[in-house]
A and B are shown apart, each in its own frame.
Chain A
Amino acid sequence: MNWEVIGSYLPLYWKAMLLTLRIGWIGIAFAILIGILVAIVRFYKVPVASQIAGVYIEIFRNTPLLVQLFFLYFALPRIGIPMKADFCGALGLALLGGSYMAETFRSGLESVAKIQTESALSLGMNKSQMVLHIIFPQAFSRSVPSFVANIIFLLKETSVFSAISLMDLMFTAKDLIGLYYKTSECLVLLVVFYALILIPVSVLGDRLERRVRHAEFGD
């Protein structure tokens, strides 16, 4: 292990990590947004939209991100829709993540008993008050473990970004190995930087889980 080599590679990895984080968080933020919308549409069985949402979920949950990225990056420009690589990465992540988040939030919504709804209604709440104050908070707290797992899964999935020539961690590692053959240094750095991204997320996720468990069902 050559520490000097490691030291000289650090700035490159740092830059790559920032790219992963930037695209990762944008993608995940939109994944959450898509997930909430699609879950609501599915849960309340909004006609037509619910069927479309169902097809969307099936397609994106059952194809690899790599394939989705290739499609967005190489196929869409052929039919006249230009795609920049980083936009493409974020979009791919958002669409993949949206399909996972949707299922997570939907099962959260389904886990809230119907009689809780009735209990809220019998107090004179209208539908939106009931959904906002009674259903959503309970649904979300039950979704949290799977929500956190999704975020970690999506951050790991970003490792295929290099396939559409985004200079993320994977790309940087492969590139440096190809140039200088310092394989073990490059791989150690790769592990360290992924851990640097994922461990804080995992710790925060644990905290969040513990906090919402406080408000969990106890009876």
Chain B
Amino acid sequence: MSKREEIIRVDHITKRYDENAVLDDFSLSVHEGEVVVIVGPSGCGKSTILRIMNGLEPIQKGEVTYRGEKVDGKLGSITRIREKVGMVFQSYELFPHKTILQNIMLASILVQKRDRREVKEEALQLLARVGLSEKKDAYPRQLSGGQKQRVAIVRALAMHPEVLLFDEVTAALDPEMVREVLDVLLSLAKEGKTMVIVTHEMSFAKAVADRVIFLDGGHMEEEGTASEFFDHPKTERAKQFLHTFTYDKVERE
């Protein structure tokens, strides 16, 4: 693991909204082929970290780099970096005025100037992979949440990103659709894709993560392998947090 190249480096960053520090002196590095899962209570800054890694959020201190290059939404280099850093949102954010196929192809053609025929062929392959070939000419509104999210993942993949950021991609889904989306992520992990995943699905996190980061109050409270974190949490806060996902059997009189 340690020999692998560092792709994203988050170096002692501080992020404030007005006066409130959402992230305080936070650092993280993501290496090639690694799956990093970020967990933590609501409002602890998980989405903010992903957004900062994609240059969507300015920071007040520290630095974020992608392969040594500064990630900053105000720099011209940001579009090139974003091509390589794919992001998938909780609310899918497909483009409602474009068909599924157009959603997937748009950026490859517009941003990467790739050949339309080749892009289309690849888009169709990707759609087939997530079992949505027959939806290629549908509009987003005609799809279920789980289907939309699979399209959003495919849309990110079509750019050939080096790393993918997933922000609670199943949080808006009905329970029966969670599986179909998480299965896609698991298969990407098997392929060795580099990913940073924010999730509340603990059993999924345990299955997919090489490394788990537990965030609380803008700090990294704990960091470890999946089994270290889930089976033997070190900090009291992590134990409490994990406890909120388990229920004790009700004892009736």
Residues of A bordering B, CB below 8 Å: 115-116, 118-126, 129, 133-134, 137-138, 141, 214-219
Contacts and interface: CB of A to CB of B under 8 A. Distances in A.
Nearest to A214: B139
B82 interface: yes
Contacts of B54: 121-122
A216 B95 CA distance: 10
Interface string B83-102: 10111010111111100000
Nearest to A212: B97
Nearest to B87: A122
A137 B97 contact: yes
Interface residues of B, number: 32
B142 to A, nearest CB: 7
A124 B82 contact: yes
A138 B97 contact: yes
B58 to A, nearest CB: 13
B126 interface: no
Interface of B: 51, 54, 56, 79-80, 82-83, 85-87, 89, 91-97, 106-107, 110-112, 139-142, 145, 148, 155-156, 159
Contacts of B148: 219
B96 A124 contact: no
Contacts of B156: 123
Nearest to A129: B110
A125 B110 contact: yes
Contacts of A215: 96-97, 139
Contacts of A141: 97
A217 B94 CA distance: 10
A138 B107 CA distance: 17
B139 to A, nearest CB: 7
A116 B56 CA distance: 12
